Structure 1
């Protein structure tokens, strides 16, 4: 699938600094290595609000779809390095 990279990068810029520090590095360092399905899920995930994303990434709630939850876990693992 052909993604609009400028738009995705813009949507990675969140209102919460904590999210910026998790989502943008993941996008820059790992997006190209994701499967097409994972890339699509990532783009869909960016449509959710900052508080929702924050709760998922902080393990306060599970993401609404299993594919999204798997992506949340990938983002979390990428931060452990």
Structure 2
């Protein structure tokens, strides 16, 4: 379980240098993060340590993340924003 302080840091880490990432990550952390189990929350936190160009390429479908657990998290986030 994430403490409020740790969650606040995580939320701050969702603010990226690219608008495209901000519009994916900020709504997810606010509405979908608490639905994840503990392991998935850890994976989301780990995802945020990746570089913006990599995240952009994964979320935009230009590349596939080679790490299966991170790729699963990317796909989960994308599935929540697709209409």
TM-aligned CA deviation for residue 60 of structure 1: 1.2
Q: Runs in 1 of length 4+ with deviation above 2 angstroms?
A: none
User: What residue in structure 1 maps to residue 2 of structure 2?
Assistant: 2
Tell me the TM-score normalised to structure 1 length. 0.93
The alignment yields a C-alpha RMSD, in angstroms, of: 1.1
| Count, aligned residues | 81
Q: Work out which of the residue numbers 23, 44, 50 in structure 1 matches 2:52.
A: 50
In the alignment, the residues of structure 1 paired with residue 18 and residue 73 of structure 2 have an alpha-carbon distance, to the nearest angstrom, of: 19
TM-aligned CA deviation for residue 64 of structure 1: 3.0
Tell me the TM-score normalised to structure 2 length. 0.90
Alpha-carbon deviations, 1:50-81, whole Å to 9, x = none? 11100000111112311111110111111113
Q: Map of 1:1-80 to 2, 5 A cutoff?
A: 1-3=1-3, 4-80=6-82
Gaps of 5+ in 2: none
In the alignment, the residues of structure 1 paired with residue 15 and residue 53 of structure 2 have an alpha-carbon distance, to the nearest angstrom, of: 14
